Amino acid sequence: MKGIREPAVAGMFYPASAAKLKEEINYLLGEARIDKQFTNVVGIVSPHAGYVYSGKTAALAFNSPLKKDYNTVIIISPSHREYFRGISIFDGDAYRTPLGDVPLNNEMIDKIISDSK
């Protein structure tokens, strides 16, 4: 086991409790209008601030492709803590969330790292 990335902002940006987080996500998604013209979504741009600031906007982004199954989801985000050139990839086994651990696609991670050398 390579390691699990613990949640960095649970309890600050979103609820740390699984029950409260589910409730908030369900509320936000329930309020978000579904735009039926987007039927083949291959990517979304979503804010990543605290839910109180950006939850409604994020729910709009996630509500369109929500009913589909994806084998792999790639999340690209900036670093707010350190400046560096290039990219940083967590090559552990999972991201921990209040709703459970999300496994990572280690085969894809290893390929990206290998192809970047």
What Cα–Cα distance (Å) separates residue 46 from each residue in 1, 3, 75, 108, 113? 31, 27, 10, 22, 25
pTM over 0.75: yes
CATH number at residue 111: 3.40.830.10
The pLDDT tens digits of the residues spanning 42-79 come to: 888 888 889 999 999 999 888 876 566 778 888 888 88
Quote the number of domains for the chain.
1
Q: What is the pLDDT of residues 14-25, one digit of tens each?
A: 999 999 999 999
Residue 53's domain comprises 4-115
Q: Give the pLDDT confidence of 22-51 residue by residue, as tens digits.
A: 999 999 999 998 777 777 778 888 888 899
